[in-house]
Structure 1
């Protein structure tokens, strides 16, 4: 990282992969040390993870200290073109995320009708929610994940890879690494989401663009889980409409990525 650079986004691009790796290792060591000192923390996996995340945040605060320009980047989010693109990318990614589950749901519904002995592989039964756990997980998903994941995967990993491999390979690699940190069923949608975040970041040189989409996406899906809306949209008679919309959104994402990546590579 180059502390002579005072612009926020330019400083972010100077953070090297080895520096990020050192930050991750130190955060991990400090987390383990606290677990040894306070063994009670080991009983709460989420709490242990939050300690690690806290130390990783400290790394980014240190790496980006003394920079300016974040306020201007925030104001740009509300410019008409940027706001429209944030909403468009959000909507098509959310609908595309339904695709895998919609396909499984369609397959499951067909087998249920065709074979009376078929045991459903999907369970949409609402489960009891512990308020404390829900608030903790919501805070992690809605606030922590968008900030930290965009800084790590787009701000550092994508930026450094595109120097060595070029734009397209950097998008593919960083999005793949981003995706494998998600649940198996959501890896495909997470990969596509990562590609779209790379496009937004590269187009605007504004990491807050991706954070905004990420924040809204996680907020909506948290509310979605709270009200167990899967039980409505992934079951008959709504399921065919869900599948159709998901397919259309998939085509729109392919078109968006093809068009925008083509422009970026042509520059």
Structure 2
């Protein structure tokens, strides 16, 4: 599937995205769907993702038996050990971000909806990997070289999430890009992305039922929470940097 992303035109992708937005808007005008949307705004996001996936399927697999064979081959060649290795590198970041969500009281916080969780763990990782690692990385590598392509695509990926977890998003983007380059299998990246999102969303759900006080009942602080928070993040960042340094492709290499 490597050559597929190189052949896809950016203009065509933008056209499909605009059409998907228009179709999503039209579907939201249906009373039944609109009522669901009024209760949960993430309905629009998951609808948009599904429509985009349908467009991708029609564009890539329609009448193309070779691509169907390649997809089956990618699924059979899933590198579970490589995915697990990269996942372990980020565990400290998951714990650090998770502790932020669990510290304090969340009695008035609104819990995540089922649609939000489904979107974040399924459709969002698929769409984002196809775009950031598949399309964007492949387009950038010819203009900037593979190293800058990895860093730029990961930076854009982190920024466009519009949240405070920039460092975690950036490292995940870089690791996912390295995974794609090493295995030439976008399915590996999708699974890795799903695991990362699931880890964060697990803490989001737990934050509705669990809270960790910053001080004891007698008012004395709990420094252990701060130590675990910072040490887990620092250890994970060091592990990430070491792995990236050892596995970043040569400057002039553009081959995926």
- Scaled by the length of structure 1, what TM-score is found? 0.76
In 2, the alpha carbon distance for the partners of 1:198 and 1:147 equals: 14
Q: Does 1:134 align with 2:113?
A: yes
2:104 alignment counterpart: 124
Q: CA deviation at 1:139?
A: 0.8
Q: Does 1:31 align with 2:31?
A: no
- Cα distance, 1:123–1:239 mapped onto 2, change above 3 Å: closer
Q: CA deviation at 1:190?
A: 0.6
1:158·1:174 contact (CA, 8 Å) conserved in 2? yes
In 1, the alpha carbon distance for the partners of 2:213 and 2:13 equals: 41
In 2, the alpha carbon distance for the partners of 1:232 and 1:214 equals: 28
Q: CA deviation at 1:36?
A: 4.3
- Cα distance, 1:232–1:69 mapped onto 2, change above 3 Å: farther
Q: How much is the aligned-residue C-alpha RMSD, in angstroms?
A: 3.1
**Structure 2 spans left out of the alignment, 5+ residues:** 215-221
2:145·2:252 contact (CA, 8 Å) conserved in 1? no
- Cα distance, 1:75–1:236 mapped onto 2, change above 3 Å: farther
Residue of structure 2 aligned with 1:191, choices 164, 170, 177:
170
Q: Does 1:10 align with 2:3?
A: yes
Q: Does 1:144 align with 2:145?
A: no
Residue of structure 2 aligned with 1:255, choices 235, 242, 256:
242
- Cα distance, 1:100–1:238 mapped onto 2, change above 3 Å: closer
**Structure 1 spans left out of the alignment, 5+ residues:** 1-7, 106-121
Q: How many residues align?
A: 238
Q: CA deviation at 1:171?
A: 1.5
> How do 1:157-176 residues align onto structure 2 when only pairs under 5 Å count?
157-176=136-155
2:90 alignment counterpart: 93
2:218 alignment counterpart: none
